[in-house]
Amino acid sequence: MKQMLKGKVIALLSLAFLLIMAGCAEENVASGEKGESSQDDVIKMGLLLAETGPASTLGASQVKTVKLLQKQLDEAGPINGKTIKLIQYDYETDDTKAVVAMDKLLSEGVVAINAATQSSTTTAVMPKAIEAKIPFLAGAPIDVENEYVYSTVHSPRVIAMPIVDYLNKQGIKKVAWLNAADGFGVTGLPAFKELAKENGIEIVAHEEFDATATDMTIQLTKVRSKDPEAIIVWSRTPGAGIIARNFKALGFDIPMIQSTAAANEGFLEQVKDDNENIFVVGSKLSVLDQLPDSEQKELLKEFKEAYEQEFGEEPDLFAAHVVDGVYAFVEAVKAGNTTAEEIHQYLANDLGAFLGVTGTYNFSESRISPEPDGISVLAIENNTWKYIE
């Protein structure tokens, strides 16, 4: 595998790379009809994703990514004699159903878990993984630190960093803040407040809205009276798109900047043909052709091309979270670790720094978040993402 100055690089989705990861995968699969492996030779990773329900606008690309990864792993063959099986359940955007699915995953003998599409769901199922001492690769922003928890997503503070950089570059010093009153929505403001104070940015108004609301005109009208120079929104789709449409209908002529939870095709569809002054913190994966040449660009290109070839559409930041979580797990197996505790120790102490599709990770130094090098404030032009240098 290629080596960076500070660590490893993911290239998981290339079949050639998978063969390298498998140590030039063994030709003989464990006994069983049609080449199937025995249970003793199977290492299982569980994933809980929102394939259906409102959060499926985020989870759809994740589910497709799991299918692609499993296909590539199957084609590559066993790693050190072990076959990796990704077991994915749809929790239907329902935290209660997610807890039930989590129990099922644990009963099936998974040795690592990647969950979930939403912050509230991630928080709901995480205690079960901690209790079972199974490495938990958190798939949504959470405000919890534990030795068995490894975040594959950016923390609220890291998501806010590109926003503050953008505000500074534009000379904006007064902002209004709106967020959904849900598990993800409430995480952003505390982190942003710290960065805003450090950068002399004043929050002149704060409003909340129900994540299932169909109109946020009242909240926007209230913040307008405070004369902000920009509006920041912390909410997932569909709420993120609804408030953006209300913003346009009210005729605001200032920027609206949304969090990573709006960085998906569903949001673009919601604001189609009326998206001037609407910005989103999104993945550099979404503006690949606009990036300068770099090792990171080559990595993103490999993932994007494999995904597009399989599904005929582009992946997004949420797909990237799954890739990076599975990568870390596969690297642990490649290094000869097969039990939950062995995988946990490897992630914590031996994996080291690596460049993922989401950004640069180093679980040995921080399990809270990857670095912000994989995200940027993106504009929308001709109904697609535009990179802002």
What domain range includes position 276? 156-288+375-387
pLDDT at 25 over 90: no
Q: Using CA atoms, how far apart are residues 304 and 301, in angstroms rounded to an integer?
A: 5
Angstrom distances, CA of residue 277 to CA of 29, 88, 229, 251, 326: 55, 38, 12, 11, 36
Helix axes 317-334, 340-349, angle to 10 degrees: 110
CA–CA separation, 340 vs 206, rounded Å?
A: 43
Q: What CATH number is given to the structural domain containing 76?
A: 3.40.50.2300
Do 200 and 238 fall within a single domain? yes
Tell me the average pLDDT across 181-209: 95
**331 and 250 within one domain:** no
Same-domain pairing of 96 and 109: yes
Q: Please indicate, yes or no, if residue 29 is contained in any of the structural domains.
A: no
Question: What pLDDT is attached to residue 4?
Answer: 35
Can you tell me the mean pLDDT for 374-383? 96
Stretch 2-21: mean pLDDT, rounded? 42
Whether residue 148 sits in one domain with residue 47: yes
Note whether 383 and 252 are same-domain residues: yes
Tell me if 8 is assigned to some domain: no
Residue 28 belongs to some domain of the structure: no
The helix/strand/coil state of 50 is coil
Mean pLDDT, residues 188-192 = 95
User: Does residue 255 lie within any of the structural domains?
Assistant: yes
Task: Name the domain count of the chain.
Answer: 2
In a 10 Å sphere around its CB, with 0-12 CB exposed, 13-18 middle and 19+ buried, how is residue 147 labelled?
exposed
pTM: 0.83
Supply the DSSP string of 297-331, one letter for each residue: HHHHHHHHHHHHHHHSS---HHHHHHHHHHHHHHH
178 and 143 in a single domain? The answer is no
User: Which is it for the CA torsion 55, 254, 189, 381, positive or negative?
Assistant: positive
**Is residue 16 assigned to a domain?**
no
Rounded to whole angstroms, the Cα distance separating 150 from 344 reads 9
Mean pLDDT computed over every residue of the chain:
90
Element (H, E) at 243: helix 239-249
For residue 338, tell me if it sits in a domain: yes
- On whether residue 293 sits in a domain, the answer given is no
Please give the Cα distance from 65 to 285 (Å, whole number): 14
Is 11 part of a structural domain of the chain?
A: no
Q: Which two tokens stand for residue 15?
A: 């079949």
In a shared domain, residues 130 and 150: yes
- Are residues 237 and 91 part of one domain? no
Nearest of 283, 305, 261, 263 to residue 374 by alpha carbon: 283
180 and 277 assigned to the same domain: yes
Residues 162, 217, single domain; the answer is yes
**85 and 178 in one domain?**
no
- Tokens linked to 272: 């189609």
Same domain, 225 and 125: no
Q: Give the residues across from 180 on adjacent strands.
A: 209
pLDDT above 70 (res 34): no
Residue 2: what pLDDT? 37
> pLDDT, tens digit, for every residue of 282-341?
999 999 999 999 999 999 999 999 999 999 999 999 999 999 999 999 999 999 999 999
